[in-house]
Chains A and B, each alone.
Chain A
Amino acid sequence: MKLTRRNFIAAVIGGIAGIQATPLPWKFTDDVAIWTQNWPWVPVPPTGEFSEVTSVCNLCPGGCGIVVKKVDDRAVKIEGRTDYPINPGGICPVGMGGLQLLYDESLRFTGPMKRVGLRGEGLFTEISWGEAFDMLAGRISTQRRKGAPEAVAAIDGSPEGTTVSELVKRLMRAVGSPNYVRPPSICDTYRMGNLLMQGTLSPMAYDLENSDFVLSFGCGLLEGWGAPGRVMNAWGMWHQGNPAKRKTRIVQVESRASNTASKADIWVAPRPGTDGALALGIAHVIIKSGKYDARFVSDHSWGFEDWRSMDGTRHTGFKTVVLEKYSPEKVAEITGVEPKTIVSLARAFAGAKAPVAIYGKGKDSLNGSLYEYMAVQSLNALVGSINRPGGVLLPDPLPLSNFPPMKVDSVAVGGLRKPRLDQAGTMRYPFSDSLINNFTDAINRAPRSPVDTLMVFSANPFFTLPDGGGFKKALEKIPFIVSFSPYRDETANMADLILPDSTYLEKMDDTVWPVGLQYPLYGLSQPVVEPLYNTKNVGDTVIELSRAIDDSVGSSFPWESFEEALKERAKGLFEAGEGLVSYDAGTPAWQRGGDRDKPGYSSFDEMWEAMKEGGMWYRPVGSPRDWQGLFNTPSKKFEFTSKLLVQAIADYSKGQSEKKALKDMGLSAPADEACMAHYEAPETTADRSEYPFLMLPYEMINLASGWIPSPPFLYKTIFENQLLKDKSFATVNPATAAKANLRQGDLVCIESQAGKVEARINLFEGAMPGIVYLPLGFGHTAYDEFLKGKGVNPNNVVQAGQDPISGYPVWWNTPVKLVKV
């Protein structure tokens, strides 16, 4: 038999017929279909045992309680804790996206590294921890041997009062450098204002939940001020039920229709930088109509009426000045707010049962103005809302133990005697702790950098400082920079050495009294997962570093680990007694009275274990405090006119004319007025005919603008008129845009004397005419594909002035021009 063509065809036909009777075609089709449903490159998340770990979010000083869902060893979701006093259930979007900051390897340093590329390039090579400690300790030792320990400087962004910040301060003291600098924060303004008017040092405590009228001067209540979990929870509570019968009214004072302004009951829009004048206008109406709390003013305050000094000179008091200078008509001229609005606001504020005036500028991560804060606090005093439920409370500071006294060797004593580079605490800036813009200037002005080694902790000043790029220039001059950041941020990319911290989900850490909370709270976060990489808790790093420097420095750090140091401070919490370490959602911590469980621990160790488990120590809000000894000012009263300021101005005027001294301190008001809340018009060197607009940076809750990178998730929440491809948008009023002949989406160059950036135009009726609003948080030049090169950083345009007396940067007054590209 021969295989002919014909036979072959017969066989093929037989084959085709036969194959139908086999499973092959049917099974094959089925399998191919399944094959297309399971591409090997689509991840299949492994399953396992589900568990939960509770901790405290450390991404901002708010310290919300979080619960992390895990599958075996992997963390898969972050949620808010319902058994935590600050945020009963909710957290902010940044905290919600936190896992990307843990798991995105290209955002992080995977171990200690030294720079191999150019500064800013971000090229590093991994070294061992031993090598890293040797390098840094050697550098510091050399400075100490040279007798110049002050050339070692530290910038520390960990919130004031946390154990890490205490350790870094201690390290700087032990090394012998006075140059411990902090990035600005609204807490600086609160601290200084409270010191001057109340003589208190405890954190700001606004009893928002119990208030029935919240008059917010610029506080970004819905933009992330304070602990976002707490404020937004309160917001939901305020809007619960019948809107006609709502207890709490909210008024937002801000120049832009932000979320807070739009969602508030009333939005009042004064020109930027004139909030203080508006507050004084309201004070004027209240004083004039006699609606102020005469009892508080007469019994517990000083400087309201005119007064005589020791030498018999007559000085004007708050009342006289306010009545003379801040009539609604005059204030209307300054602020642009109509007089009748000022009058009705004043009536509503004074008429409320528990009004509170709160002060802020967006989130809490940038400073405010001292006099503005004093004006707002004066309003609280006028209506007696100080030390009263629903107002401003004056609790004691957290009873944390101090570290044991330390020995400071002769080298360190010599170094500590040197003046601070930023002049904070000098006669010119008598009440300031730290002035980072001055620090930057000092380096930029000097021919050779006075700082040899700069250590940067939990901060990214390259990106976050409103200084028109001044800090970046300073970094270029500093010979040796060390970053302790877990993230590959802009500042870390300029560093020569990286000693990476673990991320907040991999380590133990503490949070101390979230901004604005009305009761003392100490939060303790727990590692949620084991450190993924070769990183170290920065607290441990500081302790080990101290030992690597020399015995003299190391002896100030007697703890075996960071946890020991945490425990040492927490002992004070135990000794103070009465603190609760668990939370029952049924009795919120801001509610007075009510049955509460007793602390339920009898020894420190028991308390510590309970704190580690629950993550908290707090004392629910109590009854108002005894007036006796409440105010620690020279007059022992609330001071409308600050005696400390009187003294400080007198001190500074010694040997020169008072007028010149005041001018030097940035003041245009006469001496009496300078000692109380008053309005100072922000100054600028720019020619306003050339730079006709003002640029105002603004913050959003759904974008991190501080030292923490934004989780990429957040970019889903950004609108296409805030960011499109690589361009962010400048928001302007349509009328303003029409004047400059600009339309929606036009690309413009926003130029100030300090710098320029390119952005697209977004027209928005809710923007104040004449002002260009730029969002903070965009424009990273570091990190990875998710964040890098998206939009522009308004800080590069900010031409910062100086706030009178305090010396903090005035970042809200930058004249700019718009040039269409």
Chain B
Amino acid sequence: MKDSVNSSKKTADKDGDTAPPGGLFPRWMKIDILAQDVGFFVLGLIGALVVGWIIFPAVLYSKHVQPINFNHALHLDSEKVDGVEGETKAEKCLFCHSFRDDGTFTGIPRLEKCTECHDDPESPLGETPEEKAFMAEYVADEKEIPWFVYSKQPDCVYFSHIAHVKMGEIDCETCHGNFADNEKLPIYEENRLTGYSRDIWGKRISGIYWNKEYSDRMKMDDCARCHTEKGQEQNNACFVCHK
């Protein structure tokens, strides 16, 4: 065994050191061999790019369909839904995603909010099968809907909606993207490693944004960049957003 290793090494040395009789270059510099090298290099490269850009994101995120489909566009139609009014989109959003009296934000509405209108499981307000399923499964049993929350931040993060929406006059879609016109809820993607929603990192797996539109990500840097841009550097102090 030892001998064979030694001998093969010797052979290799020989190959490298002495020029072959038929050419100017050593054998390893022969064009066909180099081409082979390049070929395999490119193969590896492409493989890695495929793994990194396509397979990795596909494996990293698990996909979940929301328990029921909620039609944002329909519910924001003030002709169809009583009370959804307002000049800006944000005002309309606030009908369901509201502030409590103490200024805290309700986030995803509880079933209670839905049943303000959808109060009778026997008589749905629309004609969609989704609504029927919703009535039968949740309203009838008074069960909360286990929504997947796209913008869910980890426990260490404190975010004050009222500071941004009311005092900072920032539109909902600046951070959340345009949900208002959605007829169908997007697929929820969860990072298998961190448990975070994909919307925190953003759809762009590279995480690189050239044109400063970062509306689909919610990383700490994005908060900080926006604070700085708006001249609110003092809000980059750690405790403003961490608890």
A and B, direct touch (CB closer than 8 Å): yes
B51 touches A34 (CB 8 A): no
A11 touches B51 (CB 8 A): no
Residue A7 lies at the interface, judged by CB distance under 8 Å to chain B = yes
A27 touches B207 (CB 8 A): yes
Which of B37, B102, B106, B205 lies in contact with A7, CB distance below 8 A? Answer: B37
B100 touches A34 (CB 8 A): no
Bound-complex Cα distance A748 to B84 (A): 76
Given contacts A7-B37, A31-B191, contact A23 B56 (CB under 8 A): yes
A18 touches B201 (CB 8 A): no
Bound-complex Cα distance A520 to B56 (A): 73
Given contacts A18-B48, A24-B52, contact A38 B37 (CB under 8 A): no
Considering residues A17, A21, A23, A34, which has the most beta carbons from chain B within 10 angstroms of its beta carbon?
A23
Contact residues in B for A21 (Cβ distance below 8 Å): 48-49, 52
B51 touches A13 (CB 8 A): no
Given contacts A15-B48, A19-B51, contact A10 B40 (CB under 8 A): yes
Bound-complex Cα distance A13 to B47 (A): 11
- Please name the 6 residue pairs, one residue from A and one from B, whose CB atoms are nearest each other, closest first: A22-B52, A14-B44, A18-B48, A11-B44, A14-B41, A18-B45
Which of B49, B155, B205 lies in contact with A27, CB distance below 8 A? Answer: B205
Q: Can you list 16 pairs linking A and B with CB atoms under 8 Å apart?
A: A7-B40, A10-B44, A11-B43, A14-B45, A14-B48, A15-B47, A18-B48, A21-B48, A21-B49, A22-B51, A22-B53, A27-B201, A35-B193, A35-B194, A49-B100, A50-B102
Which residue of B has the minimal Cβ distance to A22? Answer: B52
Size of the A side of the interface (Cβ < 8 Å), in residues, is 32
Residue A821 lies at the interface, judged by CB distance under 8 Å to chain B = no
Residue A244 lies at the interface, judged by CB distance under 8 Å to chain B = no
**Chain B interface mostly helix, strand, loop or mixed?**
helix
Residue B46 lies at the interface, judged by CB distance under 8 Å to chain A = yes
Contact residues in B for A598 (Cβ distance below 8 Å): none
A27 touches B60 (CB 8 A): yes
Bound-complex Cα distance A10 to B156 (A): 45
Residue B104 lies at the interface, judged by CB distance under 8 Å to chain A = yes
Contact residues in B for A446 (Cβ distance below 8 Å): none
Bound-complex Cα distance A35 to B191 (A): 10
Given contacts A22-B52, A26-B207, contact A38 B154 (CB under 8 A): yes
Considering residues A6, A11, A34, which has the most beta carbons from chain B within 10 angstroms of its beta carbon?
A11
B52 touches A18 (CB 8 A): yes
Given contacts A18-B52, A26-B207, A49-B100, contact A10 B37 (CB under 8 A): yes
Residue A44 lies at the interface, judged by CB distance under 8 Å to chain B = yes
Given contacts A14-B42, A15-B44, contact A23 B193 (CB under 8 A): no
Considering residues B45, B154, B195, which has the most beta carbons from chain A within 10 angstroms of its beta carbon?
B45
Residue B179 lies at the interface, judged by CB distance under 8 Å to chain A = no
Residue B36 lies at the interface, judged by CB distance under 8 Å to chain A = yes
A38 touches B39 (CB 8 A): no
A12 touches B51 (CB 8 A): no
Q: B91 to nearest A CB, angstroms? A: 22
Residue B206 lies at the interface, judged by CB distance under 8 Å to chain A = yes
B155 touches A11 (CB 8 A): no
Residue B188 lies at the interface, judged by CB distance under 8 Å to chain A = no
Residue B196 lies at the interface, judged by CB distance under 8 Å to chain A = yes
Considering residues B40, B43, B195, which has the most beta carbons from chain A within 10 angstroms of its beta carbon?
B40
Considering residues A14, A17, A38, A44, which has the most beta carbons from chain B within 10 angstroms of its beta carbon?
A14
Contact residues in B for A35 (Cβ distance below 8 Å): 193-194
Q: B240 to nearest A CB, angstroms? A: 18
Bound-complex Cα distance A10 to B36 (A): 9
Bound-complex Cα distance A540 to B46 (A): 76
Residue A715 lies at the interface, judged by CB distance under 8 Å to chain B = no
Given contacts A1-B36, A34-B193, A34-B196, contact A10 B41 (CB under 8 A): yes
**Chain A interface mostly helix, strand, loop or mixed?**
helix
Bound-complex Cα distance A16 to B44 (A): 8
Contact residues in B for A28 (Cβ distance below 8 Å): 56, 193
Which residue of A has the minimal Cβ distance to B52? Answer: A22
Contact residues in A for B195 (Cβ distance below 8 Å): 38
Residue A533 lies at the interface, judged by CB distance under 8 Å to chain B = no
Bound-complex Cα distance A35 to B60 (A): 13
A17 touches B194 (CB 8 A): no
Residue A8 lies at the interface, judged by CB distance under 8 Å to chain B = yes
Given contacts A23-B205, A27-B205, A44-B155, contact A11 B41 (CB under 8 A): yes
Which of B38, B40, B60, B104 lies in contact with A8, CB distance below 8 A? Answer: B40
Which residue of B has the minimal Cβ distance to A6? Answer: B37
Which residue of A has the minimal Cβ distance to B54? Answer: A22
Q: Mark B27-67, 1 if CB is under 8 A from A, else 0.
A: 00000000011111111111111011100110010000000
Q: List B193-229 residues whose CB lies under 8 Å from chain A.
A: 193-196, 201, 205-207
Contact residues in B for A1 (Cβ distance below 8 Å): 36, 39
B154 touches A37 (CB 8 A): yes
Q: A7 to nearest B CB, angstroms? A: 4
Bound-complex Cα distance A1 to B49 (A): 22
B40 touches A32 (CB 8 A): no
Which residue of B has the minimal Cβ distance to A40? Answer: B195
Q: B47 to nearest A CB, angstroms? A: 6
Contact residues in A for B46 (Cβ distance below 8 Å): 14, 18
Bound-complex Cα distance A38 to B156 (A): 9
Q: List B75-119 residues whose CB lies under 8 Å from chain A.
A: 100, 102, 104, 106
Contact residues in B for A19 (Cβ distance below 8 Å): 48-49, 51-52
A38 touches B194 (CB 8 A): yes
A31 touches B53 (CB 8 A): no
Which residue of A has the minimal Cβ distance to B100? Answer: A49
Bound-complex Cα distance A779 to B44 (A): 70
Q: Mark A48-81, 1 if CB is under 8 A from B, else 0.
A: 0110000000000000000000000000000000
Extra pairs beyond A27-B205, A27-B207 (10, CB < 8 Å):
A6-B37, A10-B39, A17-B41, A18-B45, A18-B49, A22-B56, A23-B206, A31-B60, A31-B191, A45-B155
Q: B157 to nearest A CB, angstroms? A: 11
Contact residues in A for B53 (Cβ distance below 8 Å): 22-23
Contact residues in A for B60 (Cβ distance below 8 Å): 27, 31
Contact residues in A for B52 (Cβ distance below 8 Å): 18-19, 21-24
Contact residues in A for B191 (Cβ distance below 8 Å): 31
